[in-house]
Structure 1
Amino acid sequence: MKRVLQYNTEQLLSVAIEEAWNFFSTPKNLALITPPDLDFRILTKLDDGEIYTGMIINYMVRPLFGIPVRWKTEICEVNKPFSFTDRQVSGPYKTWIHRHEFIKKDNGVLVKDEVRYELPFGVLGNIGKWLVQNRVEKIFEYRRQILQRIFNPDPGSQHSHTA
């Protein structure tokens, strides 16, 4: 039985769509918005250029219990500056498809993430789905907090810093 899980989130950032695109389409920035306990490392040698369709990126990550896992993703669709999609080629999930969407608003850009994933190991994998779902939620909550600091600093603070 195929059990595809889904996670959706959105966040309004107080920047122009081009600035949001420039940040999210630079693979090196992914490490900035990933929780430190994942020990996320990009293994692919990257320049400072932005993503492109067909781009392959290799990572090392420790998603659960500190166990290192190699993860390879492909940028499979790019619609600059409105959206891009990456998918897992190999890694911890049976399938992982992550669509990033950027919608221009009067007061900034709405960043939407849709993640569809399937756990490995069939029925056995589904036993731990609550653990994985909770982990995915915590990763995106961390990301939300970092993006808030970078793009929506507190206007009342005279010492606003970016990550």
Structure 2
Amino acid sequence: MQLYQLRSQQTLPISREVAWEFLSDPANLKNITPSSMGFHILSGADKEMFPGQIIQYTVSPFKGYTTRWVTEITHVQEGYYFVDEQRFGPYALWHHKHFIKETNGGIIMEDIIDYKIPFGIFGQLAQVLFIKKQLTTIFKFRENKLKELFGQIDNRPNELEIKAI
């Protein structure tokens, strides 16, 4: 089974505290996810983020198919990073690290997602045909939404890469 990695970086002209307040609130996920994904939080987003927190959602990765996704917040260093891991859902593995680093004039928000797709060769084919494109679309939407909400620093380029590792 092939392991893939998505890496995304975006600079925002906000403080670490503002970034943390927004990014660590699971309810904001809906705001930075395309509506076409049918993202709805079912439970677990009603408390401040903590290690061991279980959050349940439904998502529709493609038309006509809705699935439940359950993640656990496994690590939290307030103001700096948190990690969520899929416990049940569409991926064979989903390990998502969120980092906030200070930079001149704001913060760098970095995401590193290591993921595996189930179904062997069919999953690898799905990665090539639509999963990579879909993840790119989701993260580009998120980038634009965060830019709309918070602005950007000096037109610095944002980075997005998905590769097999």
Q: Structure 1 length as normaliser, TM-score?
A: 0.89
Match of 2:156 in 1: none
Q: Distance in 2 between matches of 1:45 and 1:94?
A: 22
- Rounded to whole Å, the distance in 1 between the matches of 2:55 and 2:120 is 26
Are 2:141 and 1:142 aligned? yes
Residue pair 1:22, 1:50 contacting (<8 A) in 2 also:
no
Question: How many residues are treated as equivalent by the alignment?
Answer: 152
CA positional deviation for 1:45: 5.0
d(CA) in 1 for partners of 2:66, 2:139: 20
Partners of 2:44 and 2:105 lie apart in 1 by 36
Q: Could you tell me how far apart the structure 2 residues matched to 1:137 and 1:92 are? A: 17
Residue by residue over 1:111-143, the C-alpha shift from the partner in whole angstroms, topping out at 9 and shown as x without a partner, is 001111100111221111121011001000000
Distance 1:147 1:66, change over 3 A: farther
Runs of 4+ more than 2 Å apart: none
Query: Match of 2:108, as an amino acid?
Result: L
| Residue matched to 1:111 | 109
- How far apart, CA to CA, are the structure 1 residues paired with 2:74 and 2:64? 29
Aligned partner of 1:57: which letter? I
2:30 pairs with 1:42? no
SS of residue paired to 1:120? coil
Q: How much identity, in percent, do the aligned residues show?
A: 35
Give ranges in structure 1 of 5+ residues lacking alignment: 154-163
- Counterpart position of 1:161: none
Alignment-derived partner of residue 4 in structure 1: 3
Q: CA RMSD in A?
A: 1.4
CA distance in 1: counterparts of 2:99 and 2:38, whole angstroms:
26
1:61 equivalent in alignment to 2:59: yes
SS of residue matched to 1:125: helix
In structure 2, the gaps of 5 or more residues are 153-165
Q: Distance in 2 between matches of 1:20 and 1:9?
A: 16
Distance 1:64 1:4 in 2: 22
* Distance in 2, Cα, partners of 1:10 & 1:135: 18
Calculate the TM-score normalised by the size of structure 2. Answer: 0.88
Structure 2 counterpart of 1:157: none
Once residues 95 and 102 of structure 1 are traced to their aligned partners in structure 2, the CA distance between those partners, rounded to angstroms, is 23
Q: Distance in 2 between matches of 1:146 and 1:21?
A: 16
